Amino acid sequence: MEPNKPKTTAKDFFLHLGTMVALYAGTVALLNLLFQIINAAFPVIDRYFLGASKISLPVATLIVVFPLYLFLVNILQKGYIADPSRKEFSVRKWLVWITLFVTGIVIAGDLITLIYFFLDGRELTTGFILKVVAVFVVAGSIFGYYMDDLRGRLTGQRRNLWRIVSVVLVIGSIVAGFSIIGSPKTQRLLNYDQQKVSDLQNIQSQVIQYWQQKGSMPENLDDLRDPLSYFVIPTDSQRSEEYIYNKIGTLSFEICAEFNLASQSSTAMPRISNAMKFGMENENWMHGAGQFCFERTVDPQRYPVYPKPVI
């Protein structure tokens, strides 16, 4: 008489499902992180802005999801050792085969993309090649691990080898990510500086509008206050103090703020601020560390005074 097979309990179902969800989430985060690291090292001209959040999010995901995946796999492995028949659960086989199917498609698509770019005469840049290699290594490792699992070749030593490879890959990627975006403290300082530039831009815009309406420069920031306007004069949120404004001529003025870090040239490739070069920190808003003033001169031809309405 054939022995009864163990029934899949709710615990077994969600353990297997949770393991695969953690695997998929971690894989997406890892590839995203690797792509952003490659973009930072080999930037593509005229592409979208590489923001710090594009690196911070996958790093945060990996820090949580990867240990969770290892934890769930360890629980499942202990269950398999205690009762080898658990490996015959249909939910396990379905999820493993789905994973093999998806990773197989990813690997094939990766190779097709590489061959297509080559045959189409497109430039195979270093960044593109590294992205192809990253996808191949990550997807290939997952495929190899679960093929070993299905074929029963995952001995204790072989399983530990796969764990070491995955830990080195994930931790190495996280360290590389932090080397680009800097520490959380550095990110806070960068965010403060970026907000200060944004505030100064708003003040500059209001000064120009004041000139066009009045035909003169405001004497101080209080002149910009208008109860009928939605504009509120911004203050330095980090230091809880007002920004500095000085009228220095008939058409000239300066606005100042206390910055934490110096801006980097748009042509440079610094370790940290490369991830923050966009929009507000263009050549007109480059600044040093400490108190820095931006001198501005209004061009009357570009910003003419509005004609006074006839009453």
pLDDT in tens, 28-37: 888 888 888 8
- pLDDT greater at residue 171 or residue 226: 171
Q: What is the DSSP letter of 250?
A: S
Q: What is the DSSP letter of 240?
A: T
Average pLDDT over residues 190-197: 91
Of the candidates 203, 186, 199, the one whose C-alpha atom is nearest the C-alpha of residue 261 is 186
Please answer whether residues 184 and 227 qualify as being in contact, where contact means their C-beta atoms are separated by less than 8 angstroms: no
DSSP H or E stretch at residue 295: strand 290-297
Largest CA distance in the chain: 105
- For residue 198, report the phi and psi dihedrals to the nearest 5 degrees: -60, -40
Partners of 79 in the beta sheet?
none
DSSP secondary structure letter of residue 276: G
Nearest-angstrom CA–CA distance, 226 and 65 = 51
Residue 4, pLDDT > 80, answer no
> For residue 126, what pLDDT is reported?
84
Residue carrying structure tokens 């109860």? 227
At 222, phi and psi to the nearest 5? Answer: -60, -25
User: How many of the other CB atoms lie within 10 Å of CB of 55?
Assistant: 25
Q: Report the C-alpha gap between 263 and 276 in whole angstroms.
A: 9
Mean pLDDT of 211-225: 91
Q: What confidence category does residue 241 fall into, taking pLDDT thresholds of 50, 70 and 90?
A: very high
Q: For residue 278, what pLDDT band results from cuts at 50, 70 and 90?
A: very low
CA distance 223 to 295: 19
- Under 8 Å between Cβ of 169 and 175: no
DSSP-derived 3-state class of residue 246: strand
Query: How far is 271 from 187, CA to CA, in rounded Å?
Result: 13
Cβ count within 10 A of residue 109: 12
Edge-to-edge order in the sheet of strand 252-259: 244-247, 252-259, 290-297
What's at 261, amino acid-wise? L
Q: What is the mean pLDDT of residues 201-219?
A: 92
Range 252-273 average pLDDT:
70
